[in-house]
Structure 1
Amino acid sequence: MTGSHEIEDLLRAYAPRVLGALVRRYGDFDLGEDAVQEALIAATRQWPEGGIPDNARGWLLTVAQRRYIDLVRNEAARRRREDSLSLATPDSELVARAADAPTGDEDDSLALLFLCTHPDLTPASRIALTLRAVGGLTTAQIAAAFLVPETTMAQRISRAKQTIKAAGGGLAQPEGEDRTARLTEVRHVLYLIFNEGYTASAGDDLTAPELSTEAIRLTRLLHRLVPEDTETAGLLALMLLTDARRPARTGPQGELVPLAEQDRGRWDGRLIAEGVDLISRTLAKGQVGPHQLQAAIAAVHDEAESAEATDWPQILVLYELLERTGENPVITLNRAVAVAMVHGPEAGLELLAGLAEDKRLAHHHRLLATRAHLLELLGDDANAAAAYREAARHATSAPERRHLTERARRLG
């Protein structure tokens, strides 16, 4: 028998290549994606017992192509469109052609990433479609990760594919400024997937490791496809340096453990070393963007032997540079913590006062929790406890809510 993890890893690696081959051959992303999903399901059922085929990609392409032909025929029968569909080639010939297809000469993964982050799609649809089409996750897996019913996620994915179909989306890669803008969108989607995995926005678990792991895998893929893009390298470094702390972020009962209280011996030294090396080489190129600066901040945290040894003045300088790359209240929120650690909690609270007027953060639990933390550092336990309780009321993640409630209880 073959291990399930080995099979899952292989299927996720091959999914975009097989889909790209179908879309390139037939020009139909919608049916091609459905066919690939059915091929992946067939593999998960057959490979554990029968073993992984010698030509795994050819096997998947063969099965996906058979499923595609079946889907087209069903569509034709239902809509009476036989005359407009190219179904003249016999199954046997099509299958043989698929089995003999190249196993790695053409990789359409980047084109698929661009397609799944089409500007006509909503952010939620981009995430779902990227995870399914490029990540190879099933609709059920995506729905479970985002804590929504499978039918809801299926409808979201279906609408996304219809939107792409209406827009005439194909595998042609954008060029020039359009390519730069779309690459930014691809990075943004991967970052959103990672963040949801690192700190789940809702539910009983603090993290959804399958999402952060998949985001890292896809970002590695993107970095391989565009090695010259320094922001993609910065994003990968940021994910590695952040995910390295995940083993220490929860206690024995799944409770949240703040950064300052984590057992740094549980951090993943291999990921830290890889992330530090990557961001060090990237920053040396002189083209510094927000992901690179965030990675540099994460590296400073990860390289400190203890919370007390953290180089907060350097972190503050990096946050000041980060703010110059674009207005973002979350960055200002994080800078307020750095300001408090360097210049005292009063200075940090003064910066937070301005953020309280920003509608995007006014009632967000992270702003309220940060205010509570700085009040606690100031020694104002009564107001800190009240702020923690208010933050807990606005938190949607159960572990975060429990953590904030416990902090308030300790302060009385």
Structure 2
Amino acid sequence: METFLNFLKGNFFDFLTYTGFANAEIGNLIMIAVGAVCIWLAIKKDFEPLLLVPIGLGIILGNIPFKADAGLEIGLYEDNSVLNIFYQGVRQGWYPPLVFLGIGAMTDFTALIANPKLVLIGAAAQFGIFGAYMTALALGFEPNQAAGIAIIGGADGPTAIFLSSKLCPNLMGAIAVCAYSYMALVPVIQPPLMRLLTTKKERVIKMKAGREVSQTERILFPIIGLLITTFIVPSGMPLLGMLFFGNLLKESGKTTRLAKTAGSSLNDIIVMLLGLTVGCSTQASEFLTVNTIFIFVLGACAFVVATCSGVLFVKFMNLFLPEHKKLNPLIGNAGVSAVPMSARISNNLGLEYDRKNFLLMHAMGPNVAGVIGSAVAAGALLGFLS
């Protein structure tokens, strides 16, 4: 009997060494709290719940403490674990192109086709990326790491994941969470900057409705856009190819079922897995570092510069446009590629100063141009640094 009791006692204490209570560290608890805050912001404050709920729970899941050398095959970085299999889509970079497929299938490029000069606003908003790149280099980051951090300025989570998975996988968790955090905070960050950089007279500028775009133009746009952008930056082909493919499915008129699948169920599945696994990758040992602080600060600066660049560039364009063709500078913020969040901010702020001034369709032009611009910028950085 005594031998049996000793056996039970030994096994019980051995079991305790496997529990989270025995293996918990302060870093795990901090990151679990961070995950809980993300979920709270998503549900209570409505900050991009489709992104922050999976990421928040992923952060909690990725920081559940367990005995690392137990061979349980449950951790994100353990071969053959379920989470590790899901994580291959992030590490190998095939989740982001599938997200771009869904974006293309849901996006209407009509505003950009009707007014092609709006593409310049999307290009101007990419200044934040290259400014952050040079700043990161000055702070001592390696060129590959600086590029991954800088792409946060495009406010495009999938692009940030795609580029960092290729150039700096060790920083991917921090970069991804940072990029998605600033995407979620678009309604908080952008309006004060837009008010600061514009006058009341500029905010009430009314823009003429764009011309009607034919179906032929809508079909030709993804084909021509694909050829032009990928000839310039072939390294951006995974993102750009899937973006324009999704849009062609939408506009062809013959593949409606495929477009609906790409833009709804397939996109939802990929976003869930992407958010969850990105959250899981933010383990305390890798995430709670000085570099993470620098990444968040540089990401914020890049995002602010991108927003300001878009607004100021519209003001610059207005210097050369006749009075009846002037653009409302409030659409400049939409040059960042947070679709359609930043375009909605343009519209909401315009309505705040004139209840009859609807800017949404006008803002969608630079908004979708920003999606293309961030993918081109990522391709350029990848091609330059590979």
User: Shorter-chain TM-score: what band?
Assistant: under 0.3
Which structure features the higher share of helix residues? 2
| Bigger Rg over Cα | 1
TM norm structure 1: 0.23
TM norm structure 2: 0.24
